């Protein structure tokens, strides 16, 4: 089962490699994004950023296959973009918690800073809304495990994206 699905376009950084992995008690960090899975440079560099933690870089399809084979393990998945997370959810896989971590602004898009670390477009907001729908109406934002949890749909509404 996926114990924690984090949406974070920075993928692996200190927050993820140290705090979240330990908090979740997972054996590995699974990066789930089709493009990253095909990039040999990122596949080589991401484990280095994880400071010795086990890192698996998979396409969405490979992530789902791995989850099916390891259902008894607590899995920690990082989706690069909200659409990656939505694709995983649409498969029907069980996910204990979903968290929007960081979303750096993408140049050339009409983004709004929803929080100080999360940029989103109207299109992103619609995907986040669909994620929440498939997750019992809930979607949170939390930088670190010991930080407060924010209702991300409320944040999107406050930013006038929903």
Please determine, for residue 18, whether its predicted confidence score (pLDDT) is greater than 80: no
- Confidence band, pLDDT 50/70/90 cuts, at residue 113: very high
Q: pLDDT tens for residues 20-75?
A: 888 999 988 999 999 999 999 999 999 888 877 889 999 999 999 999 999 999 99
Write down the domain spans for the chain: 2-158
Average pLDDT, the chain: 94
Closest Cα partner for 56 from 87, 35, 77, 82? 77
**Beta carbons within 8 Å of 42's beta carbon, 6+ residues apart:** 36, 57
Q: pLDDT tens for residues 146-155?
A: 889 999 999 9
Q: What is the pTM of this model?
A: 0.94
Please determine, for residue 19, whether its predicted confidence score (pLDDT) is greater than 90: no
Q: What pLDDT is attached to residue 48?
A: 86
Quote helix, strand, coil % in the chain, to nearest 5.
40, 25, 35
Q: What pLDDT is attached to residue 118?
A: 97
* 129 in Cβ contact with 161 (< 8 Å): no
Question: For residues 141 and 139, what is the distance between their CA atoms, to the nearest angstrom?
Answer: 7
Checking DSSP bridges between strand 140-141 and strand 95-102, what pairing results, if any?
A: parallel
Instruction: Give burial (CB, 10 Å; 0-12/13-18/19+) of 10.
Output: middle
56: three-class secondary structure by DSSP: strand
Q: What pLDDT is attached to residue 98?
A: 97
Q: Mean pLDDT over residues 130-134, rounded? A: 97
* 108 in Cβ contact with 102 (< 8 Å): no
Query: Of the residues 4, 7, 13, 112, which is catalytic?
Result: 13
Q: pLDDT tens for residues 79-95?
A: 999 999 999 999 999 89
Question: For residues 94 and 106, what is the distance between their CA atoms, to the nearest angstrom?
Answer: 30
Lowest-pLDDT range of 13-22, 97-106, 146-155 = 13-22
* 120 in Cβ contact with 112 (< 8 Å): yes
| Residue 4 is a catalytic residue | no
Class of domain 2-158: alpha beta
């Amino acid at each position: 089962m996926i114990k924690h699905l984090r949406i974070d376009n920075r993928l692996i950084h200190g927050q993820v490699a140290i705090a979240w992995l330990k908090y979740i008690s997972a054996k590995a960090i699974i990066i789930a994004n089709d493009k990253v899975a095909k990039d040999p440079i990122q596949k080589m560099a991401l484990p280095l950023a994880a400071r010795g933690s086990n890192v698996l870089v998979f396409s969405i399809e490979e992530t789902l296959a791995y989850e099916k084979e390891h259902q008894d393990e607590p899995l920690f998945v990082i989706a690069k973009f909200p659409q990656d997370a939505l694709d995983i959810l649409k498969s029907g896989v069980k996910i204990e918690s979903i968290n929007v971590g960081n979303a750096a602004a993408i140049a050339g898009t009409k983004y709004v800073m929803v929080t100080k670390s999360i940029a989103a477009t109207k299109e992103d907001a619609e995907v986040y809304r669909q994620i929440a729908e498939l997750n019992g109406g809930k979607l949170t934002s939390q930088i670190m495990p010991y930080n407060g949890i924010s209702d991300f749909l409320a944040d999107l509404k406050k930013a006038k994206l929903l």
